[in-house]
Amino acid sequence: MKPLWAPWRMTYILSQKTSECIFCEMPKQGRNKDRDNLILYRSSHNFVMMNRYPYNNGHLMVVPYFHTPSFDGLTDDVLLDFMKVTQHSIQSLKKAFMPEGFNLGINIGKVAGAGMEEHMHLHMVPRWTGDTSFMTVLGEVRVIPEHIMSTYDKLFTIFNS
């Protein structure tokens, strides 16, 4: 057995779980809860939040406020804003962490890998040469080099300046 130290997981383990859509509920809690909810940026139709269990440092999600499992029901204004917020997110991550590339993806439907299949969102994962090392390949472990709240504070300033 290989023990891994992940003290932030205990908060999640002990927290009260909800059956409601987190992508609908978290933004409604107000801006004063954005840090707790890892919401970095709000536009008129979409918001950006950090993934609490990231694949890589700076793993973000762009999420429309409108609750839909796919592009159905999203207006042209929402879709344009979705892409503009995605562009802003890439620019902010470049400024903060100088990644060499990005993986962007939208999983629509459980069979496609959607963990939150009822509310569409785009995953954005910054990438660097060598960020998939022997730890990932052999140990099935990812190394996140910075505490999530330090990453949040750094990105929040850049996103909102």
Q: Is 13 a member of any domain?
A: no
Kindly state whether residue 7 falls inside one of the protein's structural domains.
no
The residue type at 81: D
| Mean pLDDT, all residues of the chain | 87
pTM reported for the whole predicted model: 0.82
In a domain, 47, yes or no: yes
Split into its structural domains, the chain has a count of 1
* pLDDT at residue number 62: 98
Query: Which residue shows structure tokens 């330090």?
Result: 150
Give the pLDDT band (50/70/90) at residue 6: low
CATH number of the domain to which 54 belongs: 3.30.428.10
Catalytic entry in 67, 121, 123, 147: 121
10 belongs to a structural domain: no
Q: Is 67 a catalytic residue?
A: no
Residue at 14 is within a domain: no
* Residue 5 belongs to some domain of the structure: no
pLDDT at 142: 62
CA distance 107 to 44: 23
Give the structural domain span for 38. 21-159
Domain presence at residue 138: yes
Q: What is the pLDDT of residue 135?
A: 45
65-121: per-residue pLDDT in tens?
999 999 999 999 999 999 999 999 999 999 999 999 999 999 998 888 778 889 999
Residue 144: Cβ within 10 Å count: 15
* Per-residue model confidence (pLDDT) at position 115: 80
Q: Which position has the higher pLDDT, 12 or 15? A: 15
Report pLDDT for 7: 62
> Based on C-alpha coordinates, what's the Rg of the chain?
16
Report how far apart, in Å, the C-alpha atoms of 131 and of each of 5, 44, 56, 112 are.
20, 34, 8, 24
